Amino acid sequence: MNKFIFLASVLLGTTVLSQQQQCRFVPVCDENQRPDGGSIKGDKGEVGSPGKAGPHGPQGIKGEQGLMGDATVLIHLVTNLMEKLEQQSNLLNETSRKLEKIYEYVTPVSCKSALVKGRQKLRTGDEVYCDNGWQVFQHRYDGSENFNKPWEDYKHGFGNLSSEFWLGLEKLHQITTSARRCRLRINFRDFKGSHSYAEYRNFSIGSESSSYQLTLAGFSGSAGDSMLVSSIIQNGMRFSTVDRDNDLDGRNCAFQDGGPWWHKNCGYARLNGLWSRSSTSDTSMSWYHWKNRWGGLKSSMMKVQCDY
Ligand SMILES: [Ca+2]
């Protein structure tokens, strides 16, 4: 009987008891689950769209400048400084170049860059005579200096740069052999004021051991060529003086035929011969091929110009 009552109560309870009350008797049970399988609460809807942003908040206090900001300012300052230094450096270089040019004009390395005509002190300390970019090594124009001198005088030079002079074979050897190439130019003037010139594009003087042997080639000029005449080519000849006969003649050409020179047997160029207003002797100062005669020269200027 009791069992009957209990079963009846269970059957009745499924309809009369609440879901909560029923769950007291069912081990696994959801209180929100309806008896017909539905849910007591409604299903979750989809997530809605975000709401509008709120108004801006008040501006905060400005913070201290960071490390990157300091570095940027520093780089800017250094860049400006470098640009200014570069400008100053360019200005200094330009000024230095101008000063170097002025210095070069005042104390040139050689006559080639000298503007002054006449006596000139070179940067080496040597005093020379320059003429339009050439260095003069023989100058005669008034007969004030005796050119009939022995070997040692021609070796070391004599006379005065302010008047007549011979520079010296030793210096001429050093000048022409320290250069890549040298030229020889000789200017002539007669007693009537006429002038002419002879130029040789290759000119060099050997050492004393070769008796200051002459190397000469490439004539041009208005005075004619008295050095490379086919019968008496003086290229390759050694220097002769009154006390040292190095010529190819039976005589001593320096003593008998026109003074110290690079004689062969003997030759038509005698620029160290006797200076005379009237002499037409072959012992007088001559450049034969200018007027095809001996003598008649008032002045001669022998000069050298070199490329280094
Ligand atoms: Ca001889």
DSSP state letters, 208-255? GGGTS-EEEEEEEESS--SSEETTEE-TTPPPBBTTB--SSSSS-HHH
- Give the CA diameter of the chain: 187
User: How many whole angstroms from 227 Cα to the centroid of ligand 1?
Assistant: 18
The per-residue pLDDT for 305 is: 97
Task: Report the separation in Å between the CA atom of 252 and the middle of ligand 1, taken as the mean of its atom positions.
Answer: 4
CA distances from 291 to 154, 179, 296, 300 (A): 28, 34, 9, 15
* C-alpha neighbours within 13 Å on the C-beta side of residue 72: 5
Q: How far apart are CA 187 and CA 183, in angstroms?
A: 13
Distance 171 CA to ligand 1 centre (A): 25
Q: How far is CA 234 from CA 143, 163, 173, 214, 300, in A?
A: 26, 28, 17, 7, 19
In the chain, at which residue ranges do the beta strands (DSSP E only) sit? 118-121, 127-131, 134-140, 158-159, 165-166, 181-190, 195-205, 214-221, 228-229, 232-233, 269-270, 286-287, 297-307
Distance 253 CA to ligand 1 centre (A): 6
**117 C-alpha to ligand 1 centroid (Å):** 39
How far does residue 246's CA lie from ligand 1's centre (Å)? 6
**Residue 289 near residue 271 (C-beta atoms within 8 A):** no
> With the C-alpha atoms ordered 166, 168, 171, 176, is the resulting torsion angle positive or negative?
positive
pLDDT at 102: 77
Helix, strand or coil, per DSSP, at residue 93: helix
CB atoms within 5 A of ion ligand 1 belong to 245, 247, 249
Tokens standing for residue 205: 């003087």
Tell how far CA 76 is from the center of its chain. Answer: 35
Predicted local distance difference test score (pLDDT) of residue 53: 77
Are residues 225 and 289 in contact, defined by beta-carbon separation less than 8 angstroms? yes
Q: DSSP state, 274?
A: B
- Rounded Cα distance, 168 and 173, in Å: 9
Q: Which of 259, 256, 211 shows the shortest CA–CA distance to 237?
A: 211
CA of 244 to the centre of ligand 1 (A): 9
The pLDDT of residue 4 is 46
SS3 category, 23 = helix
Closest CA to 293 of 262, 271, 268, 273: 268
Place of tokens 């470098």: 82
Contact 182, 176 (CB under 8 A): yes
**Centre of ligand 1 from the C-alpha of residue 166, in Å:** 23
CA of 265 to the centre of ligand 1 (A): 8
Residue 236 Cα, ligand 1 centroid: separation in angstroms?
15
Q: What is the pLDDT of residue 67?
A: 59
pLDDT of residue 43: 61
Residue 49 is predicted with a pLDDT of 76
238 CA from centroid of ligand 1 (Å): 11
Q: Is 72 helix (H, G, I), strand (E, B) or coil?
A: helix
Place of tokens 């809605």: 48
Task: Name residues of the chain where pLDDT drops below 70.
Answer: 1-45, 63-68
pLDDT at 57: 72
- Taking the C-alpha atoms of residue 290 and residue 192, their distance in angstroms, rounded to an integer, is 14
What does the angle CA 101 – CA 102 – CA 107 come to, to the nearest 5 degrees? 100
Q: 239: CA distance to ligand 1 center in Å? A: 11
pLDDT given at position 39: 47
